[in-house]
Structures are given as C-alpha cells and as structure tokens.
Amino acid sequence: MSTLRFKAIEETFNRRSLNIEEPGRRSAIFGSNVFNESVMKQYLTKEAYNNVMDAVKTGAKINRTVADHISAGMKEWAINKGVTHYTHWFQPLTGATAEKHDAFFETIGEGLAIEKFGGGSLVQQEPDASSFPNGGIRNTFEARGYTAWDPTSPAFIWGTTLCIPTVFVSYTGEALDYKTPLLRALQAVDQAATDVAKYFDKNVTKVNATLGWEQEYFLIDSALAATRPDIQLAGRTLLGHSPAKGQQLDDHYFGSIPSRVLAYMRDLEIECMRLGIPVKTRHNEVAPNQFELAPIFEEANLAVDHNSLIMDVMNKVAERHHFVVLMHEKPFAGINGSGKHNNWSLGTDTGVNLLSPGKTPMKNLQFLTFFINTIKAVYENEELLRASIASASNDHRLGANEAPPAIISVFIGSQLTSVLDELEKVTSGKLSPQEKTDLKLNVVGKIPEILLDNTDRNRTSPFAFTGNKFEFRAVGSTANCANPMTVLNAIMAKQLKEFKAEVDKLIKDKKMKKDDAIFNVLREYIKQSKKIRFEGDGYGEAWEKEAAKRGLSNNKTTPEALKVQVSKKAIKLYGDLGVMNKVEIEARHEIELEEYTMRVQIEGRVLGDIARNHVIPTAIRYQNILIKNVTGLKSIYGDNYEKHAKEQLELIESVSTHIAVINSKVNAMIEARKVANKLEDIQKKAESYCNEVKPHFDEIRYHCDKLELLVDNELWPLTKYRELLFTR
C-alpha cells in the first residue's frame, strides 16, 4: 500500500494544467443550452409561449394540446443541438439528483423510425423509482411515483440529454422530493409578503424569494484520493495527523489560485455559462486546497436547481482534470470545513428588494417591517431552522474553526441594533405628531446612512444581516438548499400573515392610522425577539451559558436537532400553509434519521477496516524491523545491549500500546453497533449511533494518528495530510 501512496504522489507531481480555450465572451454563450424565454419565442407558437409564461408567473395549468406544441418545439430545439435523449430531472430525498434517460427514438413499423416526444412525456412520467427513500409513504410493491414538469425552472441540455426539471410525488400525491415543499413554501411567502407589501405600494402583485448561494469545496488529486478508502467511501478523512503547517499563516485565503485549479475553475465556469448558471465569483478559501464559487442572485427555486446541478457538474468536470471534489462539511480535522452560505431576500415584481432601505421614510418603514419580521420568524422557529441544516456531516463543522455554532442567533450589527433600541421606545397606541416626526426623520430616515457604513461582520453568526439580505451561514456544503429555503420561507410566510392580522386589527378596532399600527406591532416584535439577537463571538462556553439563559436551543447533534420536525407546532405550521401534511413531515423525519444512522454506520465500518487492515499491519511490520534491530544490537553488545537499544525498546512498547488500544476500541465500536442495530425505534437507533458508536471514532483515530508519527514514513500506506493538502 505504501507503494501505491508514493506512485500516487509521483503521478500528481507529473500532472499538467489542461489548456482551456475560452469561447469568446461569456455573455455570448450564457444560457445557450437552456430552453429559456428567448429560445421559446423562436420555437413555440405565441399561444404556447404565453401559456408557459402564465404558468411561470401565476401558476396557471398547461393544457394537453398546448403541451404537445411545447414538447414539439423543445424537441426540435434539442435535436438541432445534437440531443438524442430526454429525462425528467428531479431531486429525491437522497440529497443527489436523479434522472432516467429515454431516447426520442420510436419505431413506426416497416423498418422505419421517427424522433418522438409528445406533451404527455413532457408534462408527466412514471419513473417507478421505488428504491428512493420514502419514509414509509409507499411499499416497494406499490411503487408508483410520478415526476411532473416544473415550468418555472427551464429545461436544459447536458451532454446529449435534454433535462426537464420536475417534482417527484407518490401515487397518492405526497411529496417524495425536495422541490415540491419548496414550491409550496415559495407560494405561501409570495402571498403573505405581497399582502404586507401592499401597505407600502398597491402596485405590488407578486413577491419572489431570492437566493444567492456560496459553494465551498476542496479539490484533491484523484490519484491521491484513490489511496484513501475513507475519502472514497465516506467523503472525508477518518484519520490522519495534522501537518506541521495547516492554515495558521492564512496564506491560502484569497491567494493566487493554483494553475491546475484555475484551469478547472475556467472549465467549470464555461459549462455553467452554457447551462445558464450565473457564476460570478471564484477564490481560494481559508484552508489549503479549499475554494469557493458563487453566482449572482436568482429566484429561489431556480437557484436551488442550479446549485443541485452545479454540484453534479463540478464532479464531472473534475474528472477531466484528474481532481476529486470533496463537498463534505469537514473532510479534514483541525482546519476549516466547508459551508454553503444561503443569502436570502424578498423582491417585488416592481423591482424592489424588501430587505434594502430606500431614500424615503416610507421605503425605510417597509424595510424595517420585513427586517423585523424576519428576526421574529427566526426567534419563534429557531429550532426548526436548526433542524433544516442538520446532518451527520454538518455536525462535524458547526462550532469548529470559524463555523457558526449549533445555537441559532441573528447578527445585525451595532448600528441597526441602536435603531431597534430606538423603535422599542415607541409609545403604545397612536403616535404624537412630534414623536412621529422624530421617528421618521431621526431614526427611520437615517437608515440608508447607517447601512452605508455598516461594515460589521460576524463569521460565527449562523444568521446575519449583510446590508440588503440575510445570510444563513450554518447551511452545510453538501446540503440541498431546498431544505433550509423551505423552512425559512415557510416561517416567514407564517410570520407575515400574523403581522398583517395584528396590524389590520389595530386599524379596525383601535382606529389607528396604518403607520401607527405598523410601529406598534413592530415595537412588540422587537421586544419579543430580542433574545435571538447576538453581536458577540459565537464560540465557547460563555455564549452557550448566555444562550441557555435566554432560552435558546443548543442542539449539537442531528438526532437531537431533528426532533422538532415532528412537533405539534411544526406540523401545524406546515399544515396551515399547505407546505407539507403530517404524513410527509413524519416521512421526512424518518428518512433523515435513517440517513444519519447509515452514514455513521458506514464511517464506523470504514474506520474499523482501515485500522485493522492498514494501520495495525503496518505498525506490526515497523515493529518487526525494530525488533530485528534490537536483536542485532544484542548479538553485538550482549547483556549490555539495552544501553544502546533504549530508544528502540521504547518505540516497540509504544507501538504495542497503540496497537492494543486500537484493537480494543474497534471491538468496542463493533459491539456498540450490534446493540444499536437491534433497536427498532428509529430515533433511539440514531441516538445510539450518535452517543454510543460515534465516540469510539475519536479514540481509534487518536491512536492511529499517533502511530502515523511513529511508523517509518516509507512504510505508511495512507496518503498523509501534508500530501493531500499541499500537493498541487
């Protein structure tokens, strides 16, 4: 195995950057493989085009006759671009994307064939898909599942396949994917936010949630990755001693991008341009061999699809460059992990960002309304928001190396804090003319000036306001953005509905003017949600103690965090909004617990295999070399040999001790797994894996890593951290 390691290192050193030819201006190829509005105008009849646009903007249904026209135009466009197959592209509850390819090809008898793609094939398919997680919604022998076209996310071409974004539902209508609840949540927040926005502008008829994600990732040479069973099977290193140099010099962050990596990034960006993914930013991240890319903001549903698509494209492009992309939240111990910051806001169809201040007090009152309601929504549902980013892999990241802690809090900066403190003092009831004037001129009116210089930033905040949006920093790098976006938009919809009801009640019952009613409700919200706001450092016991005093949750593990998903409060929230019913909620809860259990189980089996089949045999081999050396010294020096073999004897004893502990701990871990596997209750099983199985990982790793320092480097079989992180 050590031979494999050194061959891989040699192969990596001999790599050369691929020559990537730029296809002219990026703007010229943007969306060239997307069935977007401009393409539809060319290939569809006016009636078909208008029908699609109505479906996108108002949710109108597309009738079968028009669907036939759309599919014919889509097929013609795709075939002209060399496409041979089509697929309904969906996002099942595995976290990955799914596709089943069908050829346009159909036989018509007499040895003849045609290219065929009807409206029925476009709008709906039955892919079976019985093996995807369903949480008990359907039996394997009753496996009918349907994919249905989502016209709000345009079809695209990847390779020679036309990909049609779809939802995935069961025969009885329950959602079996991430997209369906997201679309429902987006519809709910649209309705609720539009109703509130009309307080400030009667012309608003639609509000879109927007999302700008930031994707962090590691790039490792494929030859080096192939020498590590843990990277291949678990997506992260389960052992490995920290190198002498890691990220402590901060010399990688925003540094010069390595040439091979830059070639990969350029290749990836060109593919993104063709797919209509508006990638704009690229840079080195903090940890060695860690990088980031980020696009321009888009409507949330499309942004979620683009992120799911780009994770797949990243892996495919990486193969051409002999890289492996590590999306895991914590692939290497002791250095920064990877997140997927979700930058979220709300925008009207009149072109206004509702979380951006304006030039007038009225625009700023609108900003404060949505700003304060967001804080209140997070406060009322912080556990549900925490559950939305829970996973076995993100558990390793949260609270480590600058990542946000598991405690959900909101950071808004000292200047906006002072604004809310002023608003908290608003008199109950109708405002006096003097108070209203002071408020609008001295507090609300000055918000643009405040935000102009608001450069405060808190890297440890899981949910931070950053000028014209909120950044949900706790989302993990492997996550499907749909999960946190479904929760965030759902809780915001609920909050805005409650806000409007309270304001309308004051206007009707107390005869208050609209502004007075809004200020009164906002004042109470500021008081009620004050506990969620935190401006300090999110690390350490001090904040944990303070958070406990405030009554904030601190669910550090996934089994603990996921419990809230099936609470009466959560079931009512989703049910009232029509986002998910009780069956769908309980199914997802079961699926996420099962996934957690299986991931920890896989890691335990991989770690046990590496420890016993790689580490221990190598240590014994090295020990035998030492024993042979001691035997030689004894033959030379006789009874006096111990004076000359002291260090060797200590090494032999030390190696023996580590081998014994590793073997013992692996046995203990296996026994703990056996106990956990017998548990029928999925919650208890996940907790057992978390609390009884997983703790053995660190103990086994500690002794394996100690052996890495003791054993001859020439013998060690596993590629070391310094080679994985610094060989480029």
SS3 339: strand
Mean pLDDT across 205-214: 97
| pLDDT for the residue numbered 455 | 45
Does this model's pTM top 0.85? My answer is yes
Report DSSP letters for 685-703, one per residue.
HHHHIIIIITHHHHHHHHH
- pLDDT band, residue 141 (cuts 50/70/90): very low
Mean pLDDT across 24-39: 94
Mean pLDDT across 451-472: 78
| pLDDT for the residue numbered 50 | 92
pLDDT at 453 over 70: no
- pLDDT band, residue 140 (cuts 50/70/90): very low
How far is CA 593 from each of CA 556, 559, 586, 596, 685, rounded to the nearest angstrom? 15, 7, 11, 5, 9
Q: 50: Cβ–Cβ under 8 A, 6 or more apart, which residues?
A: none
Q: Taking the domain 31-167, which CATH number applies?
A: 3.10.20.70
- In this structure, which CATH number among 3.20.20.140, 2.40.50.140, 3.30.70.1520, 3.30.590.10 belongs to the domain 186-580? 3.30.590.10
| pLDDT for the residue numbered 214 | 97
Cβ density class 561-577: b for 16+ within 10 Å, e for less: bbbbbbeeebbebbeeb
Question: pLDDT tens digits for 120-138?
Answer: 889 887 665 555 666 665 5
Question: pLDDT tens digits for 297-310?
Answer: 999 999 999 999 99
Question: pLDDT tens digits for 692-717?
Answer: 999 999 999 999 999 999 999 999 99
Highest mean pLDDT among 108-112, 492-496, 536-540: 492-496
Three-point CA angle 470, 596, 476, nearest 5° = 25
Percent of the chain's residues with pLDDT above 70: 96
Percent of the chain's residues with pLDDT above 90: 74
pLDDT at 642 over 90: no
pLDDT at 187 over 70: yes
pLDDT at 144 over 70: no
Question: pLDDT tens digits for 643-698?
Answer: 888 888 899 999 999 999 999 999 999 999 999 999 999 999 999 999 999 999 99
Report the mean per-residue pLDDT for the chain: 92
> Could you give the CA distance from residue 456 to residue 372 in angstroms, rounded to a whole number?
18
Phi, psi of 275 (to 5 degrees): -85, 0
> Could you give the CA distance from residue 181 to residue 184 in angstroms, rounded to a whole number?
5
Question: pLDDT tens digits for 252-296?
Answer: 777 889 999 999 999 999 999 999 999 999 999 989 999 999 999
According to DSSP, the residues that pair with 177 across neighbouring strands are 92
- pLDDT band, residue 88 (cuts 50/70/90): very high
Three-point CA angle 501, 503, 509, nearest 5° = 95
pLDDT at 143 over 60: no
595-725: CATH topology is: Four Helix Bundle (Hemerythrin (Met), subunit A) (1.20.120)
- All structural domains of the chain with their residue ranges: 31-167, 186-580, 595-725
Q: Which residue has the tokens 């996108």?
A: 56
Token digits of residue 602: 């896989």
Q: Are 2 and 716 in contact (CB under 8 A)?
A: yes
- C-alpha closest to that of 372 among 503, 529, 502: 529
Choice among 100-114, 351-365, 485-499 with the minimum mean pLDDT: 100-114
| pLDDT for the residue numbered 58 | 83
